[in-house]
Amino acid sequence: MLNLVIFGPPGAGKGTQSAKLIEKYHLVHLSTGDIFRANIKGGTELGLLAKSYMDKGLLVPDEVTINILESEANKHQHPKGFIFDGFPRTVAQAKALDAMLEKKGSSITSMISLEVPELDELVKRIMIRGKESGRSDDSDANIIQKRITEYFDKTSPVKEYYNAQGKGFMTNGILTIDEVFENLCNFIDGIKVS
């Protein structure tokens, strides 16, 4: 299996690149943000709970997030692989993901990090996305700021977790969408998958 974690701060382009990658490599796209938004739209109990955190720019608790991710992953019988987008966002989630994949006799192949060091660029991209999508957590400057703080406090250590295992690949996320995609494809095409 080819199992990729697509990593980066809010606004780095994870969703955009994931959509292009699943089309080319026929992988299953698992985005916890999308799962939560679908639950909010469907008015489920999980959606209500997730919304109470998302509206504040906070991470949804690990246990809830890990459980929903695992149940979504288990819906797919024999996938060629997964792209995990917006998950894991904490080291506890990364460890749970390893355990989940181990049960499937598999593991994370690589973590692809979209590097966007300029905070102003991230905020600008998120605001534009908010206008286009109507996403409330993309439209409020305070929520955006909180999400970025959560990223640096809780999520950035996840990068070290994978780097320590020699699984990290950093790529420049401020190139054009097509340039970033080409760099990702060159990297993925060079990976030997067991």
Catalytic positions, please?
Answer: 14, 89, 129, 135, 147
What's the min distance (Å) between Cβ of 104 and ligand AMP?
19
Q: Which position among 9, 13, 36, 112 is part of the footprint of ligand AMP (CB under 6 A)?
A: 36
Which two tokens mark 90?
């904490």
- Interface with ligand AMP, residue 33, by CB under 6 A: yes
Q: Which position among 86, 94, 125, 184 is part of the footprint of ligand AMP (CB under 6 A)?
A: 86
- Interface with ligand AMP, residue 162, by CB under 6 A: no
Segments in the chain forming alpha helices (H): 14-25, 32-41, 45-54, 62-73, 91-103, 119-133, 141-150, 156-163, 177-189
- Interface with ligand AMP, residue 89, by CB under 6 A: yes
The residue with tokens 């490599």 is 25
- Interface with ligand AMP, residue 54, by CB under 6 A: yes
What's the min distance (Å) between Cβ of 193 and ligand AMP?
24
Per-position b or e across 152-161, b if 16+ CB within 10 A of its CB = eebbeebbeb
- Interface with ligand AMP, residue 65, by CB under 6 A: yes
